Structure 1
């Protein structure tokens, strides 16, 4: 899936921001406390210049130094410093804690929605892009709460408090300084408009980098076998270069519109103050304390502006990242769900397909008018060339994709009438490529399903013949399993996958070329287990090796999405059709091997 750059409009950014703030509602008590402490810290800092101005004008200039008032003034100043430091620490800690909780909730919500999405969504969305949204993008959102909102509110309070103090000292001069507010707001608006498109592209390129990394790691064997390292390095380097260029454009916008402009405005404001007091000095004496306080307040006014402007980039990144996260959270391409209020149970496991037609993209049919019946205890084998529709039949039976045309029933009940729990508990699936998770052998057999004892696990493994290699492992059933089961052979992983399926004792067994990746000796062991597994169960088996499905009750031969032949192994050979040709071809390959 190619990433597209989506530039957020001002309205979309406001909607995203409000949605982000909604996650803070549950923490409103802690937020109120944090803001209250923030007000205390701001007040403590804003009072300090007034105390110094009083010292200069009331004591230093007239050369009067009474002990008690000066001690009181100094004590008050030191007390304000201590209050400011402690308050800033506590409010920062509270905001950090709230931010981490919010991001935690956000990640859980994203992950929860992703798990409900259907396979059609994952067919288009690369895994690296998903990981980037759940990790990198949510980390950017964390910065919004930790470094941005707290700074915005705190420095907003400082700016308001600064003007209040300036009006208290000299209302005329404070009015002159007010003209800078609209200029600052104009710069902020311009920056947000320009930077949004840059940061959207930066985030998109990070997703592409993650996707390429994930793809390369999973396909490393193929890359090395076909000597594709140079090509992959070139492609990865190109993506990184595009990320670099996007980042540089964002940094140029930051360098131009952030501190330099604010510093220029700050110099102009200080010049106005100095000119004002310069002209005042021609008229009469000026208050040096007030001059000091004004210069100090202007510095305290523009420094918060600088901090706000510098964090605008983080704010913009957080909004862009939040937009990407929310787009993922708003995906509603869910896996097909149960329809109706009935809750039928799967008992016998009889399956019927009736005139099923299916298309992945809504344009090209991969299945056309598929009809067959499988009774309890029967084995139905699906054979055909690649792309004939075998796996699509399995995907529909497993309800991975929605059924639009035709009907599928289990025990006479529509497939969509069964609950997800009932369907997954009674339809066991074994894929060609078995997937093992990090953990232990036992945890890979149970997959977290509760209610199974160690004896149940051992019995399932013994049933499929996996116990022979498990007992040789250091730790046995508690032996560690690395990511994707890299230390196990294909046959061993497949045996564990069989044990995983048989642990639930399903009424229906679905085998998607379950013996395709195992050696002959292991295949014989698995085939022996399969013969036991298929007893008193409805089995649907996709087979590449026709020798493994000779004893199937019915063999369905598919070609370009249609059933062109069906019958037993002997019947199909007598017809000398497509199945006969496939069988002779495989027999010839085995003789020449």
Structure 2
């Protein structure tokens, strides 16, 4: 099943494939004919010592012509098969990467990043080896073996029939190795993926590892995975060393002895043609080299099959990001948001949101507050349609959230996270994010609007200042300002702020608060806040506790209730829940 699915990737390139296959047939034919020509020369000219100049020139010219023809055809078929293999792997990597881009966040919640990287890079590389080395090698050697047996039958039918016994014996060896090595390779690929995951985790958390002196522990854990990978690889080396070259060499010696005995008995009963003897020994020697090559390629085949299983398992995943439903194409014009009895669970067992209901009118600011784990971010995740709404309903401008096109949602809802993500490139490209409809002038206006222009213009190259991975050379406040500019460059109707000022110092926060006031004007804003001082002017504050809205109202109304919000306010203002 896996092999057949891999071969289906050859379909778009079948014309080039069959041309290369024809070249392979011709090259194999030339290789097989060469010992037959030599055998004919020995029996009909060398032994009888009947030399004819024209015939010898013809035989010699044919021999050289076939040599050059074989070399040229082998080059063409090898180049063609490798080119096709590169095309196939290029397409397979695109398919895997595209699949990953469309999987829902629920998949990424439980899949380590390093494991995904391993599938897209290491596993596809192993599959490439199958197309480049295994497929062409098996085809070439299989055809060569058929050609050798045809030549054997031309030389001596009886001995050729006896030599057919070699085929089932060789196939049994190959099947035995494949069966034994499959389990070993599966373990090896799993451990490699786990090592990649551990390495990725270590690199991302290096500052924590070093600050908490966890280097020794991580080294032990990585060393343990590395040791398990080494042991699996060593088991395969033992199988390879035992069942491949030694086994085929033993088979080759036994076959050679059998052929010599056959001709020995023939010599007692009559004459033996030296040319036929040479031809058979030459062909017998040639037949075991392709068997050896196919046996040696079995390890790469097994790696490719195991890797393909992992890649196709990823391609067959069905945890897609929530998709648009229905034929209607509503447009966000006002920005009115309504949650109606929304409940949600990440694992299908424990609800993190329970009957959430509220309305954010156009232009209003609704703040979400509560302790860690109260469900604030889950509300944002559902509004952004990162996860499907399973119970209850979310509407924007009166239309169900699931009826909107992705492009409409992403262009009308601006998201600013607490930990902004910057891509490798420059400042300008991080604000534009390849949206060609945003001009350079609009980028500068957005940066000016969110108070980012002063620090950007002081950079050595201004808006073309290079940005390294995750924007590591910028301060957290600078990264946040750039993400603010990125959001405002698309002029969203709805703003979603996930504690947008948490990474900014007090001086910068004052400037950003002023920018936020302008950003919120005429836009519906949903803001997660830990510092209550930043949302005191919100039109509606929702206090969440264990997935439920336990209080709602304005800042003053909530203080008057003297409930959970009042305690949180006292803790942040005075450091104690007892009023001063």
TM-score (norm 1): 0.96
1:293 aligns with 2:279: yes
1:129 aligns with 2:115: yes
Q: Deviations over 1:373-408 (max 9, x none)?
A: 100111000000000000000001011111111111
The SS at the match of 1:380 is strand
Contact 2:570 2:576 in 1 (8 A): no
Deviation at 1:571, TM superposition (A): 1.2
Equivalent position of 2:397 in the other structure = 411
Q: Which runs of 5+ in 1 are unaligned?
A: 1-14
Equivalent position of 1:4 in the other structure = none
Equivalent position of 1:491 in the other structure = 477
2:265 counterpart (279, 298, 301)? 279
Q: Deviations over 1:313-343 (max 9, x none)?
A: 1111111111110010011100111111110
Equivalent position of 1:257 in the other structure = 243
Cα distance in 1, alignment partners of residues 510 and 68 from structure 2: 79
2:356 counterpart (370, 376, 381)? 370
Equivalent position of 1:145 in the other structure = 131
Q: Which runs of 5+ in 2 are unaligned?
A: none
Q: Any residues of structure 2 matched to 1:539-554 within 5 Å, and which?
A: 539-554=525-540
Cα distance in 2, alignment partners of residues 37 and 237 from structure 1: 48
TM-score (norm 2): 0.98
Cα distance in 2, alignment partners of residues 19 and 320 from structure 1: 13
Q: Deviations over 1:337-394 (max 9, x none)?
A: 1111110000100001111111111100101111111001110000000000000000
Cα distance in 2, alignment partners of residues 448 and 92 from structure 1: 40
1:232 aligns with 2:232: no
1:35 aligns with 2:32: no
The SS at the match of 1:31 is helix
1:321 counterpart (286, 301, 307)? 307
Contact 2:209 2:215 in 1 (8 A): yes
1:467 counterpart (445, 449, 453)? 453
Q: Deviations over 1:507-526 (max 9, x none)?
A: 10000111111111111111
Deviation at 1:589, TM superposition (A): 4.2
Q: Deviations over 1:447-487 (max 9, x none)?
A: 11121110010011100011111101111111111111010
Cα distance in 1, alignment partners of residues 343 and 112 from structure 2: 28
Contact 2:335 2:494 in 1 (8 A): yes
2:31 counterpart (45, 69, 73)? 45
Q: Deviations over 1:201-229 (max 9, x none)?
A: 11111111111111111111111110111
1:358 aligns with 2:358: no
Deviation at 1:588, TM superposition (A): 2.5
Deviation at 1:70, TM superposition (A): 1.4
Cα distance in 2, alignment partners of residues 63 and 418 from structure 1: 91
Cα distance in 2, alignment partners of residues 257 and 376 from structure 1: 74
User: Which of 49-58 and 20-29 deviates more?
Assistant: 49-58
2:208 counterpart (210, 218, 222)? 222
Q: Any residues of structure 2 matched to 1:421-570 within 5 Å, and which?
A: 421-570=407-556
Equivalent position of 1:305 in the other structure = 291
The SS at the match of 2:385 is coil
Contact 2:324 2:405 in 1 (8 A): yes
The SS at the match of 1:477 is helix
1:389 aligns with 2:362: no
User: Which of 251-260 and 411-420 deviates more?
Assistant: 251-260
Equivalent position of 1:73 in the other structure = 59
The SS at the match of 1:29 is helix
2:106 counterpart (113, 120, 124)? 120
Cα distance in 1, alignment partners of residues 503 and 479 from structure 2: 10
1:330 counterpart (316, 321, 330)? 316
Deviation at 1:63, TM superposition (A): 2.6
Equivalent position of 2:156 in the other structure = 170
RMSD: 1.1
Equivalent position of 1:189 in the other structure = 175
Cα distance in 2, alignment partners of residues 583 and 151 from structure 1: 73
Cα distance in 1, alignment partners of residues 529 and 10 from structure 2: 54
Deviation at 1:52, TM superposition (A): 1.0
Cα distance in 2, alignment partners of residues 516 and 75 from structure 1: 84
Deviation at 1:590, TM superposition (A): 11
Deviation at 1:65, TM superposition (A): 2.9
Deviation at 1:91, TM superposition (A): 0.8
Cα distance in 1, alignment partners of residues 501 and 243 from structure 2: 63
The SS at the match of 1:353 is strand
Deviation at 1:62, TM superposition (A): 2.1
Contact 2:432 2:489 in 1 (8 A): yes
Cα distance in 2, alignment partners of residues 329 and 305 from structure 1: 34
Equivalent position of 1:213 in the other structure = 199
The SS at the match of 2:352 is strand
Cα distance in 2, alignment partners of residues 201 and 354 from structure 1: 48
Q: Deviations over 1:486-545 (max 9, x none)?
A: 100000000000010111111100001111111111111111111110001000000011
The SS at the match of 2:48 is coil
Cα distance in 2, alignment partners of residues 465 and 96 from structure 1: 54
